[in-house]
Amino acid sequence: MTLPASKTYANLPTSTYQTQLDDKVTRLKNLLSPFAKKELLADMTVYQSEVTHFRMRAEFGIWHEGSDCFYTMMEATEANNAENKQRVKVDTFAIANHAINKLMPVLLEKVKQHETLKHKLFQVEFLSTLSNDMLVTLIYHKKLEDEWQTLATQLEKELNCHIIGRSRKQKLVLSQDFVLEKLTVLGKEYTYKQLEGGFTQPNAKVCEHMLTWACQQAKAITTNSTSTDLLELYCGNANFTLPLSQFFKKTLATEISKTSVAAAQWNIAENHLDSIAIARLSAEEFTQAKNATREFRRLQQADIELASYDFSTVFVDPPRAGIDEDTLALLSEFDNIIYISCNPDTLADNLQTLCKTHKVISTALFDQFPYTHHIEAGVLLTKIIR
């Protein structure tokens, strides 16, 4: 079977980008219209993406055809709807950044030269950064032996990247399983460890816009005062935590994933930000701890005393499902809420509760995922003075 070549992934419909973005803006404004004044929505800040080569990570299947092999993806065509895709050959990937596109053919040619590297390889994942760090994960349907490790180590040096080998119940890290990213926010550079398999914002330039917008909101509500404290829920690897912390006396960030907490702690130390503490708690667990309905040894082990914090602002970047009712009740106690959302539908649903106690005073749209229906939104809320 000979695979057809992809047309979709080689070229993007850049001429339609603005129309697609305008449609997203209209949709977000409609969803927020019950909660924000027309004048405010008219002034919504819209952060565009680059129209090509904006994505910092990509993954491809590998198709073997005799002694040859190719990158592949599943693609819908005119004859196949989204539920019935076909596998297509991918030579270039216009969504991914230039570094990934440059490495793709070089890596594949190197792999083809050694049967040990090529045999039963079925997937390749790339993770890159604006700071030109690159991690490649090669995934196999076989156990990886010493010969593979020797050849892959040589390949890693030749390509000047980091390589991981994976198979069932096996992970071989040749040098490191992370990349280092450097993001600039309001003129200051922050360094982030981004782990293989961990969550990171895929569009790094738009991520910088998101961080900048969030910091601008924090700066506006604190009026250059750092006398109060910040609570952050769902902090991940401390993506937002690092730059936001400069506007507050102390910051307490929560995250349930052990690997994300470890990355966040590394990032905090690397950036010399000693005003930040990390609690390994879910948002629901933190609500229980804050309301004193349950005690957590994890807080004691981290030497975190909730009573020592004077919270005025909470920052949230929840999963697509949004925020649970108990946590929404907790948020209603804060003077200010900075809400980043990856799902405007659940954002609108959450605002039905939050706008009983707060009003929306700033909105933004971040086009993290061009050429898709996905929308990232930002909303700043302040407490209603009755």
The residues annotated as belonging to the active site are 342, 376
Whose structure tokens read 């040990």?
116
CA distance 208 to 187: 11
The answer to whether residues 250 and 225 touch, using CB atoms and an 8 Å cutoff, is no
Whose structure tokens read 């700071």?
131
CA distance 334 to 343: 22
CA distance 88 to 63: 9
Give the distance between the most distant pair of CA atoms in the chain.
Answer: 74
Cβ atoms < 10 Å from Cβ of 65: 11
Q: Token digits for 125? A: 């994942």
Angle at 385 between CA 328 and CA 331, to 5 degrees: 15
Decide the pairing of beta strands 336-341 and 311-316. Answer: parallel
Q: Give burial (CB, 10 Å; 0-12/13-18/19+) of 338.
A: buried
- At residue 68, the 3 state secondary structure works out as strand
Strand partners, 167: 170
Which one-letter amino acid corresponds to residue 373?
H
Q: Give burial (CB, 10 Å; 0-12/13-18/19+) of 146.
A: exposed
